[in-house]
Amino acid sequence: MEKNDIKDLGEFGLIKHLTKDIPLVNKSTLKGVGDDCAVLKFDDDKEVLVTTDLLLEGVHFDLTYVPLKHLGYKSAMVNLSDVYAMGGMPKQITVSIGLSQRFTVDDMEEFYAGLRLACEAHGVDIVGGDTTSSLTGLMISITCIGEVERGKAIYRSGAKPTDLVCVSGNLGAAYLGLQLLEREKEIFYSQKPDANGQQPTDFQPDFAGREYLLERQLKPEARRDIILKLREAGIQPTAMMDISDGLSSELLHICEESQCGCRVYEEHIPLDYQTASQAEDFNMNVTTCALNGGEDYELLFTVPLADKEKIEQMEDVKMIGYITSAEDGKVLITRDGAQFDIKAQGWNPLKE
């Protein structure tokens, strides 16, 4: 198949081509792509949420093993996740892309297919952006705009002593998925090149029984469902963030912003079977992976003690500890009852 050249379309042509048949679904979107600005209108009982992320090839993603469609999906998802982490609903995104000459129109269609899949699943309009040539590699900048009921935005700063610390889903899987992809990449490149210096094309990476870990790394899901469940249960979390840098780092952020401490129990940190099993294969401590791995895009939040029963009945949410006063420190209680200070990077019982 001949690859379409982006030069034939030009910058305006490419944006038009990629966005031309995208329907707008939100009533807050008055005007999407095609003017100097997008124009939005939010109801008077809403506050507006804004978040932005910059993703760079070679730093945040490796196109050796990340398909462009997955990259588009994940690029949107990490931004939507930040809006959910405020208790809000994402409504619009703008997408800026810098791309070098090795990318074709087909490549950008793949990227947009993933982006649109994520946006459709979450009811989000693509309302603007910018495409430009870059000297090297692919760079993606996405801004997401969302809304939340007036006065209901959930900040990092609202946690109070005795609040319960909760986590959605399970942790550490995305990190181990990345390690698996990196391992197979190394095996691939360590194979003998053929007479033309090319790597063999029949290489089949071995991910059997580890599909869940790959999916967590390549196709993370922002937890819209948890926000809806919390609303339905009438629970207003006191503090919330999404877990993008690892549980340890996010716990420290909430404690710092809320001027409090926490006690978190290793035995309660939710883990998937594949995560535990893969950590063992890699001879890694699975708790370390869960605490410091990152990219899980689960929600970490605190709720008043009075909501304990409601939380216990909630599917896919686990209580992992509680908030204390600042003097009591930020503490992890291990399975054997030992206490460790939580550190942003590298709490590691193997090192202690």
Quick one: CA torsion of 121, 145, 215, 198, rounded to 10 degrees? 110
Asked if residue 136 binds its own copies (CB under 8 A), the reply is yes
Strands 260-265 and 330-333: parallel
Q: What is the largest CA-CA distance in the chain?
A: 69
User: CB within 8 A of 242, min separation 6: which ones?
Assistant: 81, 82, 84, 85, 222, 223, 250, 297, 298, 299, 300
330 in contact with its own copies (CB under 8 A): no
C-beta closer to its own copies: residue 94 or 292: 94
On whether the CB atoms of residues 300 and 170 are closer than 8 A, the answer is: no
Tell me, what DSSP letter sits at residue 61?
B
The residue (of 52 and 277) whose beta carbon lies closer to its own copies is: 52
Q: Does 20 contact its own copies by CB under 8 A?
A: no
The correct pick among 60, 268, 310, 343 for binding its own copies (CB under 8 A) is 60
Q: Answer yes or no whether residue 141 interacts with its own copies by CB under 8 A.
A: yes
Please list every residue from 164 through 203 that binds its own copies, using CB under 8 A.
Answer: none
Q: Does 306 bind its own copies (CB under 8 A)?
A: no
Site string for its own copies, 217-256 (x = CB under 8 A): -----------------------xxx--------------
> 């304990």: which residue's tokens?
308
Residue 130 near its own copies by CB under 8 A: yes
Could you say which DSSP state residue 230 is in?
Answer: H
Give 136 or 339: the residue with its C-beta nearer to its own copies. 136
9 binds its own copies (CB under 8 A): no
Question: Is residue 41 near its own copies by the rule CB under 8 A?
Answer: yes
Torsion of CA 237, 224, 37, 99, to 10 degrees: 120
Among 15, 71, 85, 214, binds its own copies (CB under 8 A): 85
55 CB-contact burial (10 Å; exposed 0-12 / middle 13-18 / buried 19+): middle
For binding to its own copies (CB under 8 A), which residues are involved?
30-31, 34-44, 47-54, 56-60, 82-83, 85-86, 88, 92, 94, 96-98, 127-130, 132-137, 139, 141, 143, 145-146, 148, 150, 153, 155-157, 240-242, 257
